[in-house]
Amino acid sequence: MARVCDLNGTKPFSGNKVSHSNIKTRTKWMPNLKDKRYTIPELSKTVTLKLSTRAIRTIDKLGGISQAIMKAKEDKMSAKALKLRSEIKKARTAISAGKKKVVL
């Protein structure tokens, strides 16, 4: 099970804990990941993503999962999120061409 956020690529990082007596101990900090379900209105389907709590707050701030996926950097996103991005782009072009209506 990979401990990596699907949207922004947050992953575990390591470093040293330093005591008062300056003894260094290697440690690993894990991201706070949650499995979160979102409904994508353009696709009319529900997806489950593994997201960091920071990514969840960003999604809330931007107004939904579709906007957050479209705004995220491609090099940090997982393959699942990149596939969703391409599907959303196709659906938005179909909607703007008048071929399909969105049901909310």
pLDDT tens per residue, range 35-78 = 999 999 989 999 999 999 999 999 999 999 999 999 999 999 99
Of 95 and 79, the one with more pLDDT: 79
pLDDT at residue 103, as a whole number: 59
pLDDT at residue 99, as a whole number: 67
What does pLDDT average to over the chain? 92
pLDDT at residue 51, as a whole number: 96
Give pTM, 2 decimals: 0.82
DSSP E strand boundaries for the chain: 13-18, 24-29, 33-40, 45-52
Delineate the domains of the chain, giving CATH numbers in brackets. 13-96 (2.30.170.40)
pLDDT at residue 96, as a whole number: 82
Q: Rounded mean pLDDT of 19-39?
A: 96
Q: Which two tokens stand for residue 15?
A: 């470093």
Beta bridge partners of 28: 14
Residues 6 or more apart whose Cβ sits within 8 Å of residue 42: 66, 88, 91, 92, 95, 102
Residues 6 or more apart whose Cβ sits within 8 Å of residue 91: 42, 43, 100
The 10 Å CB-count burial string (b at 16+, else e) for 76-93 is ebbeebeebbebbeebee
